[in-house]
Every structure is written in C-alpha cells, then in structure tokens.
C-alpha cells in the first residue's frame, strides 16, 4: 500500500525557516517524481514544487521561487521542503503527492498533510 507521511509542520514566526519531510513507503520511491501541494485554511489547492525521480528536474511555483527548496533522499525514501523567509500567506496544510514521469502531471497519491502556521 502506498503511504506518504508528512511531518515537520508547526508554528513559526514570519521571516523564519522550517523544513518539512515526507516519508514514503509501499512503492519504489526512486522511480517516481514527487511534489509539495498546499492548501490554505478554507481555500483551494496550490501546487508548490516538484522534483523528478533522480532530482534532475526541479520546478517551483512563482509564489515560492527563491524561498523554498525541494529535495529528496532516495536512500531514505524521503522528500523534503526547506522553507525560508516565511510569510503569513504561506500558512497552509502542506501535502506531499506522487506523480509519474519527469514533469508533474496528475497526482494519484497524497499524504495527510502537515500544517504550517506563520504568525508572530
């Protein structure tokens, strides 16, 4: 069974940093592209970043480019999102999700999410 378990969320002050993790199991992690997708409270979905299976291709939404860094450790079956210069508008539930192929397409598997709250 495919499982994606996010962790690392919490309350953080504006301007500070936070690192999220997503532990994958139930499939060969190194064969799949991965993504971070977020959902602000009561709002819709926003794709944040994507990384290909071998980390060769990385894509970011304009809203986080230059502040967030997506990475992965295939030996540990883990996806990361390093978030810096956090803003109140980054407050959201952050999901990790799997896609097929190099570029992100559809997201067949999602984790339960980890909540990030940016507030003083």
Partner 1 sequence: DIVLTQSPALAVSLEQRATISCKTSQNVDNYGISYMHWYQQKPGQQPKLLIYEGSNLASGIPARFSGSGSGTDFTLTIDPVEADDIATYYCQQSKDYPTFGGGTKLELK
Cα–Cα nearest to 90, from 6, 22, 13: 13
Q: How many CB atoms lie within 10 A of CB 120?
A: 9
State which of residues 9, 21, 27, 46 lies at the interface with partner 1 (CB under 8 A). 46
Q: Smallest distance, Å, CB 83 to partner 1? A: 19
Q: Judge whether 19 and 83 are in contact, CB under 8 Å.
A: yes
CA distances from 3 to 46, 54, 58, 68 (A): 21, 20, 22, 24
- Show contacts with partner 1 in window 56-85 (CB under 8 A): 59, 61-62
State which of residues 70, 113, 114, 118 lies at the interface with partner 1 (CB under 8 A). 113
Q: Smallest distance, Å, CB 90 to partner 1? A: 17
Binding site for partner 1 (CB under 8 A): 35, 44-47, 50, 59, 61-62, 95, 103-108, 110-113
């Amino acid at each position: 069974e495919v499982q994606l378990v996010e962790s690392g969320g919490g309350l953080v002050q504006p301007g500070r940093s936070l690192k999220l993790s997503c532990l994958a199991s139930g499939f060969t992690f190194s064969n799949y592209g991965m993504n971070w997708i977020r959902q602000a409270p009561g709002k819709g979905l926003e794709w944040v970043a994507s990384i290909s299976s071998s980390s060769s291709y990385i894509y970011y939404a304009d809203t986080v480019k230059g502040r967030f860094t997506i990475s992965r450790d295939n030996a540990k079956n883990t996806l990361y999102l390093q978030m810096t210069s956090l803003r109140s508008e980054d407050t959201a539930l952050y999901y990790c999700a799997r896609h097929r192929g190099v570029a992100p397409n559809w997201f067949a598997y999602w984790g339960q999410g980890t909540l990030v709250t940016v507030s003083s």
